[in-house]
Chains A and B, each alone.
Chain A
Amino acid sequence: MPDLHFGGAEPTVAERAAVDAVVADVGPAIVEMTERLVYAGRTRAVERRHLLLPALHALQRAAGWISPGGLDHACRVLEVPPAEAYGVATFYHLFTHEPPEAADVVHVCDDIACRPLGAVDLMADLRAAGHHVRPSPCLGQCERGPAVLVQRTGGDDLTVTSAGVAEVSVAIDRGTSTASVVLPQAGSTDLCLLARIGVVDPTSLDDYLAHGGYRALEAALAMGGDRVIEEVAASGLSGRGGAAFPTGVKWQAVADQLGRPRHMVCNADESEPGTFKDRVVMEGDPFSLIEAMTVAGTAIGAEQGWLYIRGEYPVTTARLANAIAAARSAGFLGDDVAGSGARFDILLRIGAGAYICGEETALFNSIEGYRGEPRNKPPFPTTHGLFGEPTAINNVETLVNVLPIMLDGGAAYTALGTERSSGTRLFCVSGRVNAPGIYEHEFGITLGGVIEAAGGVTDGTEVRSVLLGGAAGSFVGPDRLDLPLTLEDTREAGLSLGSGVVMVFGHEDDMVDTVRRIAEFFRDESCGQCVPCRVGTVRQEEVLVRLRRGATLDDERELLDDLGAVMRDASICGLGQTAAGAVRSALDLGLLEGAR
């Protein structure tokens, strides 16, 4: 690192203490340059730079903003150029760089599931009641909206669901979040991934052990890494984070990188609008994820695990932190995992309001202390992942599937689901249904079946359309209710299950506004790196605003087509590539006709 230039601003005592606590157990600054990545370009300082994101969180929490003095102090301690650190801090929605207007910031979800539940009025009411309100994209509580996140200075953040002004005030006064959900399917014996939720005490390792916990790890350690990967491959398990990539193939590719340090990363960023499955799993059964990551890490030869969770899940984060600490003190993590001699530990990393950080390479950059900008692929994470090293990154739901595979074997797992889509899938059902929530079904259930299982469509409503797969997915019409939900059937229909979102809209819903909100989401969440997405998402939203104000669809169609083409074809990552998908499907279904 060359000599860096720092500003003259001084940190407050609290800011200094907050940053120093983050770096306390790391020792003096050692800054090493990693080799230039062939494609991504930059020289990377490791060792301390990855503490930048935790340091920014500490500053925000201590002072209610990232002040010049606070940032400067973090830069000196971590040896990061201030301009770069400022670039990182301003990337995230939950970090502010102006003095706070209030000690508590009330983030209100005004995204597509919460809008029909009165989110827009709620914002006005909360403002009238004197709160400092900021609109937020989906907070991952879509089954119980409107959802609110209270970001507090000097204290723990709070989640409030089915929120009204009174609920928010009470939560702030008491400093407590809304309790975790009760599963609609609770008690069903068909559950595999959700079986322990609501049954086990999520804060107790002993209770987890009493409910079959850590038997899968025991089996895995007895089998050895090669067999574990074989079983996962034989199970046909594919990724549940959106891309449905075969998990066994991914793990094998990382395991093959002998002689290089390897990483196991769990992607718990869950920010796709309409998605809340990972939250339910992590809140209700946190040890299962820690166990599954340990199975994965020891199998692929990774000594370091990283669990990256979105910043809007304070309750979930506390459960996971507790679970990691308990597992470590019981010897399930550390230098000698469960007495096997294998070394594996997990670091928890917390996002700060950026959907794009769920994209795997953006997530790596975020952990490393850089802006959450996706990298160009190839090279792929299996060879050039976190810190440029071989990395297996998996979604939460993907990982917890590994536990039954260890216990019963890959072959037994294939008995569930269909031939080409084995296992079960978690569905995030919201919108106009009687019992919204997370549902576990075998692959192959129809779309209508999922809606029926969620208590059916609410009385007096007919299905007008269903958003399948999230904002990055597509709208489908009622003619698709008999579509079997498998990888093969959805692919054939030009659709995707994505993150398992099934959001039901009726005739009373304002679809032009819903589609416009999706366009706004992509505009707000684009990282801004590449032109097709940075400007294309803005122009797409402008078209939808014009349509809502009465512009004629025919006048806008050519532009919409061209915007869709350049975003899909020329964007760097999946965000830009799918940003026009839902809009396109809405257009095809005629949902934008008669725009108001």
Chain B
Amino acid sequence: MNGTPVGTPRPLVGITLDGKAVKVPEGSTILDACRREGVDTPTLCWAENLTPVNVCRVCVVEVEGSRVLVPSCSRPVEEGMVVGTDTERVRTSRRMVFELLASSVRMDRSDADVLDWMDHYGARPERMGARDEIATVAQPVKVQDDLYVRDYERCILCYKCVEACGDDAQHTYAIATAGRGFDAHISTEFDVTLPDSACVYCGNCIGVCPTGALVFKTEHDMREEGTWDESAQEVTTTVCGFCGVGCNLELHTQDDRIVKVTSPADHSVTHGHLCIKGRFGWQHAQS
């Protein structure tokens, strides 16, 4: 996690952000600085409750003196840094990252801000060629149990689920990146099914997936039936009663049925992560 000790005041560092002199706490990343200053910066592989892996490269910015663009999500600010977030080079690279992804992955169920950014940067993935003439990650969806579904045709390989399953939350290490290059993919060992793997069904990977590749079975089924309707959903916050830890739960309901469960990423107990009881226990209560 991106942890900075709380409470200790940090010295400030002066940088120039898009021509404006600003001061930010030492140890902040360029992305932190952008957010403080209200500079909208796209991110795909970054999340506040995960260690930055800086692999998607959509957050790149231009830093004076650097030959190549730098990932804002992981580069700490340095005194005197001159950062450009909206230069021609930055816009081209961001647009291309979206075009490359969207030409190979199905992104239509991505988080709303992802779709907005694609629009903002004018991504035209179709110019890479017709889908049946170029390489894509198209593949059948994996439905192996009643709890959640893995639809890797929608996977942008942001590594978030691997981190959530591993060092950053769950310490279960059920999934990892396998293969290399364009064949790289998220997998269990020898692609065994989830029930045969180390998976404990905490659903933390679902909680962090930005593209809808990992979803509750309920959500998957409703989307397939055409009944999924976020505008008709309500979110109620409650505290999980299965044990004494006190995790915050957000119950998403549609037509009085729980359709998925999340936890706020900024919650001090969960950091967005839960266990099988909080994540899926409602299934038994409900059925």
Contact = CB atoms under 8 A, between A and B. Distances in A.
B47 interface: no
A41 interface: yes
Given A2-B171, A81-B174, A536-B96, 18 more contacts: A41-B167, A42-B167, A81-B176, A83-B175, A83-B176, A86-B178, A90-B180, A524-B181, A528-B157, A529-B184, A531-B57, A531-B157, A534-B182, A535-B104, A537-B182, A542-B135, A562-B92, A569-B93
B135 to A, nearest CB: 5
A570 B69 contact: yes
A82 interface: yes
Interface in B182-197: 182-184, 187-190, 192, 196-197
Given A376-B71, A542-B135, A570-B68, A2 B172 contact: yes
A537 B181 contact: yes
24 contacts: A4-B198, A41-B163, A72-B189, A83-B178, A83-B188, A83-B198, A84-B176, A87-B176, A524-B181, A527-B180, A528-B179, A532-B100, A535-B101, A535-B104, A537-B181, A538-B104, A538-B135, A559-B128, A562-B96, A565-B96, A566-B92, A566-B93, A568-B68, A572-B55
A76 interface: no
Contacts of B54: 39, 376, 572
A371 interface: yes
A587 interface: no
B200 to A, nearest CB: 9
A535 B172 contact: no
Interface in B43-79: 51-58, 60, 68-69, 71, 74
Nearest to A535: B100
Contacts of B190: 7, 68, 71, 86, 97
Nearest to B53: A41
Nearest to A577: B68
Interface in A542-596: 542, 559, 562-563, 565-566, 568-572, 577
Contacts of A215: none
Nearest to B167: A43
Q: For A82, A524, A563, which residue has the most chain B Cβ atoms within 10 angstroms?
A: A82
A523 interface: yes
Contacts of A39: 52, 54, 74
Given A42-B167, A86-B190, A376-B74, A528 B183 contact: yes
Interface in B140-174: 156-157, 163, 166-167, 171-174
A523 B189 contact: no
A42 B104 CA distance: 28
* Interface bracket on B: 35 or more
Interface string A83-114: 11111001110000100000000000000000
B103 A535 contact: yes
A529 B55 contact: yes
Interface string B97-130: 1001101100000000000000000000001110
B181 A526 contact: yes
A545 to B, nearest CB: 10
Contact of A5 (B127, B163, B174, B178): B174
A569 B135 CA distance: 23
A525 interface: yes
A371 B162 CA distance: 14
B177 A87 contact: yes
